Amino acid sequence: VAKVDLKGILRVSDRGEGIPDEIKEKIFKAGFSTKNRTGLGLYIVKNLVNVLGGEIRVYDNKPRGAVFEVVFKAIPSQ
């Protein structure tokens, strides 16, 4: 978790197999699953993040794995 230029950033990373480039955009679509499940998890997360004015992205965790990054506008402290 970090605060950069009035933005809050949450990163979750692993060192697993990673996510192939050809499905990085698909994983946020309703019904998309590589595990024969509902395919709603990341779809719901993306929609909640959007409602809160943020964005979610996924990119490679070099040399192995994936990083999910959620960026929110930081709320100024009072």
User: What is the model's pTM?
Assistant: 0.83
SS3 (DSSP) at 51: helix
pLDDT digit string, tens, across residues 35-52: 999 999 999 999 999 999
**Could you report the per-residue pLDDT of 19-37, keeping only the tens digit for each?**
999 999 999 999 999 999 9
How far apart CA 52 and CA 60 sit, in angstroms, is 25
The whole-number pLDDT of residue 1 equals 64
Strands 7-13, 66-73: pairing kind: antiparallel
Average pLDDT, rounded, for the chain: 92
Tell me the pairing of strands 55-60 and 7-13.
unpaired
Query: Which domains are delineated in the chain?
Result: 2-73 (3.30.565.10)
- Alpha helix segments (H runs only) across 1-78: 41-51
Q: With pLDDT > 90 as the criterion, what percentage of the chain qualifies?
A: 82
Instruction: Report the alpha-carbon distance of residue 71 to residue 59 in Å, rounded.
Output: 14
